[in-house]
Structure 1
Amino acid sequence: MMQFKINLTPYLTRFACILCLLLSHAGMAQFNMGIKRNVDDLSDSEVKLFMDKAQASGMSESDIEKAALTQGYTSADVAKMRERMATIQTPATEASIKANNQEVNKSVESRANKTFVINNPARVNQPILHESPLNLDERKLLARPLDIYNDSLVNQYNSLQKRVASSLDKKIFGASLFQNDKLTFEPDMRIATPKSYQLGPDDALDIHIFGDVLDNFKVTVSPEGTVKILNLSPIYVNGLSIDAAGERIISRLRQLYQGLNKPGSGSSAQVTLAGVRSIKVILTGEVNFPGSYTVSSLATVFNALYLAGGPNRNGSFRNIRVIRGNKVIRTLDLYDFLLRADQKDNIHLNDQDIIRVGDYENRVELSGEVKRPYIYEMVKGENFKDLLRYAGGFTEKAYTYTINVRRNTSREIKLLNISQDEVETFLPNNGDVYTIGTIIERYENRVEVQGAVFRPGHYAIEAGLNTVKDLIKKSEGLREDAFLNRATLTRRKENYDPEVLSLDLGKILRGEASDISLQREDVLQVYSINMLREKRSVNIVGEVNAPGEFEYKEGMKVADLILQAKGLKESASYANLELARRIITHGTSDPQAAKIEIISFAIDGSLKIANDGNQIALQPFDIISIRRAPNYEEQRSVKIQGMVNFPGSYAIENNQQRISDLIKRAGGLRTEGYLEGGKLIRGTMTVGVNLKEVLNNPASQENLQLMAGDELTIPRLLQTVKLTGAVQNPLAVSYKEDFTLKEYIAEAGGYTVNANRKKMYVTYANGVSNQIRKFLIFKKNPRIEPGSEIVIPTYPENRKKGLSAAEAIGLTSSLVSVSIAIITLINNIPK
């Protein structure tokens, strides 16, 4: 278990306080061993008193923990005390935090607007320093003393510490090894004891005797380095390996068990390591958390370094010394492990070993196109080639012709260039910054051919490919549709402006014109005949299964185009087909002349080749129109529903079919059918028809011709009259033959106050409506029939009900003025 030696001033860690309380009792002047106290017996005043004493005691957590265990306290006692301590804090601690906070606030205010970096003036100009990723509030929290009794602040504080460390160290090669929460270097306690392991105080041994004699002893090495077994004298094993200690112990056990481990004795013994001791090591120098650590005796240098957070920003990764007995016994270079997983110097630690991480002497930064762009530490004698090896070498896009170096001199910064020949001899200096650039996206010997060749693309200028003719040959020749009269060669002038060279490709390939030499980045464009003319197509519309546009092919006939359109429809007319053809004239022509030629012809429906119409040759952009046969008619149907003998759907035989014919085909009316209520629905509209008139007089205009989709409905005799709108009680009442309109309205409770009586109307069962008719002083109400609906509209809500006082006065004044004018006019008429 890792142990820190903690100074409890100015405030005490919670765990140390807990254990101090468990080991103390009221009135003690020092933290010496007392009688074991019951946790529940401690009062709050005793807790505060003990915390004050703990501050001045100088005891570490390790000391207090050992004392608690010797006094018999358990983990349950500690858990209880943690609950007690959650809300208790001593006045001394509060005063200490308050005083420290005042000092920190002054410091933070003075540098609130400055860049926050780890305080290390000697490294201000080094390239590895970065600004803090924290805002001002976060920096204030990180700067002030930590209130250990606030778990939320503790967690936030730890998170901020990690962010700062990660930001400042993220570019140092190897730093991430000690910042990875998922990586641990804890020693494996389940492995066999190493042969070189030396026993020491607190190591536990298991002595197992088997055979004719059965016995077992578990002993612990004493501080004097001995083990005690039964009545034997102490056996000194300190500093011995496990094998040597086993031989010594078994030799001494033969005093009790004769012949032990000897042939023929029938009894044997085995000594194994049952538990390892804890040792203390000290990490000093440039580590993130220097101090004394308690680790397993199986721990190695890496275990201790990981516990201490590894080298800090000033620490060396290549000069880590293990000191034992004031002598350096091993120097560790972490690059051996980072680059080759070599742990030859990762030795096991002994008690009181000192691990010292020295200051780095030479760091350089490598950025750009390398596989691991980091800051690297170089040792004396290493050159730039070694630095590249640490970085994993160049990437595939690295510009390696020259490498830029930024070097610090005693007065300013100097720029250097490393050539390819200097890579193995150039020695890095502390603070160097090496930048590996990216190669230019430019080819030194590339040419390109595009268009009507069999293999267009990029080619290299080389032996055997230096001219236009060579390039055509390399691209496996021209396609059959290549346009030979003219091709273009695009190239760059000296100032990189583009220019175009026109050439007769046909003459060059036939040897009739001089070949042209190629330059890098030349682009040869070979045009095809199809590229130089409009896309040629023909079109077919009308009564074919797949009308549309089709590619024109030389020799295509009318019947061929019909086949591509998936044949003729049943409705197609074989006569009077029409072909529309462009009349193309190049140059001036009569503006009044025809631009389109129309050709009419007939075809054979079987598309036989012998038919002249089928064999008409097409030209590009022709349009074929196939008409619909004049006598072709698709089935159309109408429906009849309701009170007929055979309701259902009926086909329309011809365009002369009428309503009376449909009723007749449906078997006529049933006895309960109500002709006056019959309706004809056409589309979304109701067509009002008088079916009684239709049947009595088929020649009547009411007998309409049927149209596809018509639906005729003849209802059962209706016996109600419906009243809706501005009546007191809208409802349906029974039809009474002798009732008048006024009497029906009375049955609905009469009119409402906003009823518009003048606009009242009646809608009959067949959908036809009728309204009140007036002539002078005479008024005729509409008749009421079974199934009728009497509708009384309402006046608008914003309708004015009479004149206002001002309007009445104004109207009266106007009438008076008009009257006076008329009287005056009459009096002035000559008599």
Structure 2
Amino acid sequence: MLKILPSFSKKISLFIGLLFLAISLNAQQVAKKNVDDLTDAEVEAFFKKAQSSGMSEAQIEKAAKAQGYQPSDIQKMRDRISKIKSNKEQNGTTEEDEENDAKDKVGRQTQTTKKLSKEKAGNVDKAESSTESQLDEENIGKTLLIEHAEMEIFGESLFNNKTLTFEPDLRIATPKNYVLGPDDELNIDVFGDVLDNYKVKISPEGTIKILNLSPIYVNGLSMDVATERIVSRMRQLYQGLNRPGSGSSAVVTLGNVRSIKVTMVGEVKNPGSYTISSLATIFNALYLAGGPNRNGSMRNIKVIRNNKVYRTLDLYDFLLRADQKDNIQLHDQDVIRISEYETRVSVAGEVKRPMMFEVQKGESLKDVLRFAGGFTEKAYTYTIPVTRNTSREKKLLNVTQDEVATFLPNNGDVYKVGAILNRFENRVEVLGAVFRPGEYAIESGLSTVKELVKKAEGLRENAFLNRAILARKKENFDPEIVSIDLGKILRGEIADIPLQREDILTVYFQEELREKRKVTIDGQLNKPGIFEYYDGMRLADLVLLAKGFKEGASFSKIEVARRIIDPNSSNDNNGTTVEIFSIPIEGDLKLSDKGSQFVLMPFDKVSIKSSPTFEKQRNIFITGQVNFPGSYTLGKTRSKVSDLIELAGGLRTDNYIGGAKLFRDSTTVGVDLVAALKNPNSEENINLVEGDSLYVPRINETIKVTGGVQNNVYLSYNKSKSVRNYLSEAGGVTDLAIKKEIYVKNQNGKSAQVKRFLFFKSYPKVYAGAEIVVPEYPKDKKKGLTTGEAIGLASSLTSVSIAIISLIRIL
């Protein structure tokens, strides 16, 4: 699509010229047409091709006139362009949109080609071959044509790589075959008995001037010839120069080199004249001009010197063999012409360089495959399919591997090298209970089941012989299972079975055909668990596998639970599914012991019970005001708090027995040690357990008051004071205090709450070290009764008053 540009009239003129140039460039393939006969699609196609020419508008118009187009034709073309432009603007599309659509279309077609190619390569059996035969050949031809047009041309990346440079190296020794010309600079060094130096430049007339000598003509001479001429003339100044015994010598070298002009024409990306160094070669010039364009030949690049073809360069010599024999040094006014390619083919698929290649006359498909780097390791080389253009349509050819060396390519051929099938023509496999499982080849001496087992070095001792499975493919490639009696085949009792390719013989282990046999042992053992069952396993063997008995194990009663299994039984054994054995055993597991020799069966469960008299040592702790605090081991089954006090040597004189605390699992156990010591048979003298800890504090003569009081404070203890006395000494309760929930937390961990009966309150007794806690309402809750609460309270009081009056009257 044509873009909308502000300077319309100027661009239209350029477009017209570009279009006529495109027509002229295609003059060899398309005869001159009347402008009226051109379709809009042809106009746009010619325009796009002309855009890539890179020539000026004047050159384009001149080329159009050379093809016979008149000014009236140019005017008609302007009208056509204007009409196309107007249609594009009305549709609201741009050239970029059209290009993107074209790319999407090509991408979809390319994906179709790849999909078809994969499907074709994956057809490995007859069923798939029938599917392949139904593919649309016309669509395949179209997609192959798209791939052919978009494939990379072999060698074009050499000139597209911007990181490469082909600039001539000026820091080299003077080439002996270098041909001198105007503007070259020569350095003449005289040394020996005489020291002198001359820097001379070749004049436009082709001479150099040395002081006291007539001009020396060197234009067109090589360095060797020019050096000999210059030294010969300089002997007029330096007698015997460069001759043996003269004592003086001279050396002529090249200083600054001149620039030359060469012209690039033909199918080159950037044609024109270029000024380059006189040391430049054909490669240098080609790189500057961008190399051949898509229509240019890589193998027919001519250097024209003095109106004659001086040398023809074949880039494939350099690309394939690094041969630069034809990469000659250029001369001033040389013309490099890149011809149009004549024969170009595409090679895709399983080759190392899938590209487009140019083929010269006499070269065969074998040469093309050499250009492509040869086949990959997965290439299917038996036949190579070829898509060839004829004068009317396409046709498909198959080139066998014997015809590759003689098959001559045609222009536009597309060669698709497929991949080999993912299967074997003579493979068989054996799996399972043989010594060498794996894949084997059907060959002489290995063509039957018996021979395959022998090749795998025979069966293992635990192989199941009554039945084996031979998996194979039918003629239509459906899977098939052949069941065989492997034991009879190996013994020669029945006929051996011939093998077919892709057969898989599976020999099973005996243990694979039954449930995995286990026995279980738990209880008083060092390592109880589940163990594999072995034939002939006895009870003592299993105990050994479990690392023996623990100290608390009972040997007098070991239980073995066994499944009742009768495959031929038709009843349920009266509901009994497990049989229990009770077996005594000696701890030393002697062979003479009858219990140790009890034979186990698969899936038995053995339980080792604990001895009824076994009990671990129980450690308890006591700290605080006792004579011997520390850790103690209880010797009796039932040990009480009073026993622990006795073990610790009794209480010290400064103890406060009423505040003693018992801790169990980090939690305080409320205990009255005074009552426990006064009456050892009381409920307060509780039994101790492993890990218990008793703390006996010193005498504490303070009382702590906390919570909803005016002053949280410690007060001195006085046994005659009550809770109300202590609250008064703390400044009284606050407005947020919940008086009915006041409680006393004693030092021994027990707590006592204020008791109420009607209007009467009973406060708990306060002991030394206790804490009086006054709970509070949350600060955001207003103290006092709501209207509903007041009415309810009044109603309750009225009811209570009536009841009291009635009771008084009755009394």
Aligned pairs for 1:726-805 (under 5 A) are: 726-727=708-709, 731-737=712-718, 740-745=722-727, 750-795=732-777
Give the TM-score of the pair, scaled to structure 2: 0.75
Distance 1:275 1:427 in 2: 51
The alpha-carbon deviation at position 335 of structure 1 amounts to: 1.4
String of CA shifts for 1:229-259, please: whole Å, max 9, x gaps: 4444443333333333333333343344334
**1:582 counterpart = 2:563:** yes
CA drift at 1:181? 3.8
Mapped pair 1:552 → 2:562:
no
Partners of 2:494 and 2:670 lie apart in 1 by: 90
Q: Which residue of 2 aligns with 1:34?
A: none
Q: Deviations over 1:101-135 (max 9, x none)?
A: x99x979954343126999xxxx99x9999xxxxx
Q: Distance in 1 between matches of 2:560 and 2:156?
A: 84
For residue 173 of structure 2, what is the aligned residue in structure 1?
192
Q: 1:406 aligns with which of 372, 387, 411?
A: 387
Pair 1:311–1:794, CA change in 2 (3 A): farther
Which of 244-253 and 770-779 deviates more?
244-253
- Look up the match of 1:316: 297
Within a 5 Å distance, the mapping from 1:37-436 to structure 2 comes to 109-115=93-99, 171-436=152-417
- What amino acid sits opposite 1:111 in the alignment? E
Instruction: Report SS of the residue matched to 1:416.
Output: strand
Alignment check: 8 A CA contact 1:645 1:670 kept: yes
Q: Say if 2:419 is the partner of 1:438.
A: yes
> Equivalent residue for 1:700?
682
> How far off is 1:773 after superposition?
0.7
The alignment partner of 2:482 has SS state of strand
Distance across 2 between alignment mates of 1:464 and 1:509: 16
Aligned partner of 1:619 among 601, 605, 608 = 601
Distance 1:250 1:669, change over 3 A: farther
Change (3 A) 1:803 1:129: closer
Counterpart secondary structure, 2:190: strand
Aligned match of 1:681 = 663
- Larger deviation, residues 358-367 vs 496-505: 496-505
- The match for 2:488 is 507
Q: Structure 1 pair 129/697, CA: closer, same or farther in 2 (3 Å)?
A: closer
CA distance in 1, matches of 2:190, 2:559: 117
1:666 equivalent in structure 2: 648
Contact 2:267 2:297 in 1 (8 A): yes
TM-score calculated relative to the size of structure 1: 0.73
User: Shift in Å at residue 320 of structure 1?
Assistant: 1.7
CA contact (8 A) 2:743 2:752 kept: yes
Q: Is the 8 A contact 1:368 1:437 kept in 2?
A: yes
Find the residue that maps to 1:115 and give its secondary structure.
helix
Question: What is aligned with 2:588?
Answer: 606
| Structure 1 residues without counterparts, runs of 5 or longer | 1-9, 11-101, 131-166, 820-831
What's the CA shift for 1:510?
2.3
Which residue of structure 2 aligns with residue 53 of structure 1?
none
Q: Per the alignment, in what secondary structure is the counterpart of residue 158 of structure 2?
A: helix
Per-residue deviation, 1:265: 3.2
Spell out, residue by residue over 1:376-415, the C-alpha distance to the aligned partner (whole angstroms, 9 max, x if none). Answer: 2222222222211111222222223332222334444333
1:480 matched to 2:467? The reply is no
* Partner SS for 2:596: helix
Which residue identity lines up with residue 310 of structure 2 in the other structure? I
Amino acid at match of 2:584: A
Contact 1:128/1:168, CA 8 A, preserved across alignment: no
Partner of 1:462: 443
> In 2, distance between residues paired with 1:267 and 1:746?
135
Q: CA deviation at 1:647?
A: 3.5
In 2 relative to 1, CA 623–110 (structure 1 residues): closer, same or farther, beyond 3 Å?
closer
Deviates more, 1:612-621 or 1:276-285: 276-285
* Partner Cα separation in structure 2 for residue 399 and residue 348 of structure 1: 45
Per the TM alignment, residue 318 of structure 1 is displaced from its structure 2 partner at its CA by: 1.5
Partner residue, 1:81: none
Deviations, residues 644-699 of structure 1 (Å, cap 9, x unaligned) = 44433333333322223333433444444433333222114211122333344433
Partner in structure 2 of residue 54 of structure 1: none
Which shifted more, 409-418 or 432-441?
409-418
Alignment-derived partner of residue 40 in structure 1:
none
Verify: 1:571 aligned to 2:552, yes or no. yes
Q: For residues 468-506 of structure 1, what are the alpha-carbon distances to aligned partners after superposition, in whole Å with 9 as ceiling and x for unaligned?
A: 223222322222222222223333333333333333222
Distance 1:128 1:594, change over 3 A: closer
CA contact (8 A) 1:117 1:129 kept: no
Report how many residues are paired: 672
* Alignment correspondent of 1:78: none
Q: Secondary structure at the match of 2:554?
A: coil
- For residues 328-377 of structure 1, give each alpha carbon's deviation from its aligned partner in whole angstroms, at most 9, with x where no partner exists: 22221111122122221112222333322222222222111112111222
1:604-660: CA deviations, max 9, x gaps?
323332222222222222222222333333333223333444433333333322223
- Inter-CA distance 404–467: structure 2 relative to 1 (3 Å threshold): same
RMSD: 3.7
**% same residue:** 60
**Corresponding letter in the other structure for 2:684:** E
Partner of 2:26: none
Structure 2 CA distance for partners of 1:740 and 1:477, relative to 1, 3 Å:
same
Alpha-carbon distance in structure 1 between the residues aligned to 2:659 and 2:446? 96
Alpha carbons 1:467, 1:517 under 8 Å: kept: yes
Structure 1 residues 219, 698: closer, same or farther in 2, change over 3 A?
Answer: farther
Alpha carbons 2:736, 2:783 under 8 Å: kept: no
Aligned in 2, Cα 1:268/1:747: closer, same or farther, shift over 3 Å? farther
Matched residues in 2 for 1:586 and 1:789: separation? 76
Q: Which residue of 2 aligns with 1:88?
A: none
> What is the distance in 1 between the residues matched to 2:727 and 2:307?
125
Q: How much has 1:174 moved relative to structure 2?
A: 1.8
Letter in 1 for 2:676: V
Q: Distance in 2 between matches of 1:117 and 1:332?
A: 40
Q: Which amino acid aligns with 2:367?
A: D
Is this contact kept in 1: 2:735–2:783, CA < 8 A?
A: no
User: How far apart are residue 531 of structure 1 and its match?
Assistant: 1.8
Q: What secondary structure does 1:660 align onto?
A: helix
